[in-house]
A and B are shown apart, each in its own frame.
Chain A
């Protein structure tokens, strides 16, 4: 997996890269997040999806240690994302903040000075490959180039978990493609865990294998994408009835003649009047987005 192991830094691969347990985050009196549960196993590429203002950025700030949870617990590789654990997590914030008065080369130098494991030759090579002139000041770069520099720095940090807040926002389709391609090659090379957020699920479907759906400050559902898609069904049957079987209803809509349920099924549906249709990832996500109150995230038994 990771060749950059430091003695004493060893973690069994069963420890999740990110573990959020009943986490809450407050801005003044309003809770931006409350009762959040999520777990991302190591080596996964996880998508954090939700509408604007759902709490995606707040969850990411907790994961990278920019904020401390007001309640609950957030752990990265089994430890809080602070102090000695900081080298394990890299972060690219939504606006890709970099020092505008520094040149690209100086920005790399700053990254090398702030990170003992920083991969300076790798960062330089990646920017050369992308055709980003290193003598230019950061403020002279286009939005796409700036995003590339920010992501390059995060990758060069050689962290084990890389967190990217809307890395593709404000980028044209070509730049989106290049950003994702660059990121995925880094993932494949180093076997790192990625958490990236978006409010568009389509642009993440190709690369992600793990999903965390957030709405109104809570995690609605989280887990392996294939498993989630295979568990969710669109149940269609006559109105006024409910199908027999074990399932959790996410959302429902009713017409005069038929009822449509989006459900997470736990066993076969034994009801000849009802049909169970398989769903695409996008349809499943849309179903959750339409019913922001539905929360099906796993909860510890003790609670």
Chain B
């Protein structure tokens, strides 16, 4: 079943490779034209949106829409055993892409802004993929799940920005503490959303 999950992610692997190529382009442009230095890092905020929309949102809704869940769920493995490799493949793909993009940005700038330090870019990727997967399980429609994931991740980024500023201003948190707390919260939410998606798959039978 792991093979099937990886095989089903082939197109998404190509898409993620293109994302890395895109960032390689940004980084090359930065090196050639120092005037636009920093563009690769400032555009990084869009990466979680891409993860939620293209890795999370289609994960289950594609099965429901094409009826292939009827094939996948009547084989010899339980729905949980089928779901695990699907989610893990999407998550690993997202993490690898994030790692490569972060690496490119670090190579170009030699310094990383707050949202790119430590585990933060990775926990945000996990959160975005999890949110997309959750909407995928709930709505069972790819387009609806994509839209919900896009606006959901964008809204959470704005909320996080506001909370971050407030924590710095009112509690005087150091950037390191802030980063650790933010990473813990996003990772925890990712876990909760995946649990929610799992519950919908195993307890809410499709029509």
**Chain B residues, Cβ within 8 Å of A67:** 205
Residue from B1, B8, B71, B78 within 8 A of A97 (CB atoms)? B71
Specify the chain A residue showing the minimal Cβ separation from B80. Answer: A83
**Chain B residues, Cβ within 8 Å of A27:** 207
Chain A 66-92, CB-CB to B under 8 Å as 1, else 0, gives: 111000000000000011001101110
Question: Beyond the given A101-B10, A117-B76, could you list 12 further A-B residue pairs with CB under 8 A, ordered by the A residue number?
Answer: A66-B206, A91-B70, A91-B74, A93-B74, A97-B70, A98-B71, A99-B8, A100-B66, A109-B4, A114-B4, A114-B82, A116-B76
Which B residues lie at the A interface, using CB under 8 A?
Answer: 1-4, 7-8, 10-11, 66-78, 82, 205-207
Residue from B2, B75, B78 within 8 A of A111 (CB atoms)? B75
A278 at the B interface (CB under 8 A) = no
**Chain A residues, Cβ within 8 Å of B11:** 101
Q: How far is the CB of A26 from the nearest CB of chain B, in Å?
A: 10
Q: How far is the CB of A59 from the nearest CB of chain B, in Å?
A: 14
What's the Cα separation between A157 and B72 when bound, in Å?
A: 13
List 10 A–B pairs whose Cβ atoms lie within 8 Å, in order of A's numbering. Answer: A66-B73, A86-B76, A89-B74, A91-B74, A97-B68, A97-B69, A99-B71, A114-B76, A115-B77, A116-B76
Residue from A89, A98, A106 within 8 A of B68 (CB atoms)? A98
Cβ contact within 8 Å between A97 and B76: no
A114-B77 contact given A66-B205, A68-B205, A102-B7, CB 8 Å threshold = yes
Q: How far is the CB of B120 from the nearest CB of chain A, in Å?
A: 35
A106-B7 contact given A86-B78, A114-B76, CB 8 Å threshold = yes
What's the Cα separation between A61 and B70 when bound, in Å?
A: 9
A244 at the B interface (CB under 8 A) = no
What's the Cα separation between A97 and B82 when bound, in Å?
A: 17
Which A residues lie at the B interface, using CB under 8 A?
Answer: 27, 61, 64-68, 82-83, 86-87, 89-91, 93, 95, 97-102, 106, 109-111, 113-117, 150, 157
What's the Cα separation between A126 and B69 when bound, in Å?
A: 25
Specify the chain A residue showing the minimal Cβ separation from B66. Answer: A97
Count chain B CB atoms within 10 A of each CB in A89, A97, A115 and give the residue with the most: A97
Count chain A CB atoms within 10 A of each CB in B10, B69, B70, B206 and give the residue with the most: B70
Specify the chain A residue showing the minimal Cβ separation from B203. Answer: A68
What's the Cα separation between A208 and B163 when bound, in Å?
A: 68
Specify the chain A residue showing the minimal Cβ separation from B82. Answer: A114
A109-B3 contact given A99-B8, A100-B66, CB 8 Å threshold = yes
Count chain B CB atoms within 10 A of each CB in A65, A93, A101, A113 and give the residue with the most: A113
Specify the chain B residue showing the minimal Cβ separation from A115. Answer: B76
**Chain B residues, Cβ within 8 Å of A157:** 75-76
**Chain A residues, Cβ within 8 Å of B4:** 109-110, 113-114
**Chain A residues, Cβ within 8 Å of B70:** 66, 91, 93, 97
8 tightest Cβ-Cβ pairs between the two chains A and B: A114-B75, A97-B67, A91-B74, A87-B76, A93-B70, A115-B76, A110-B4, A67-B205
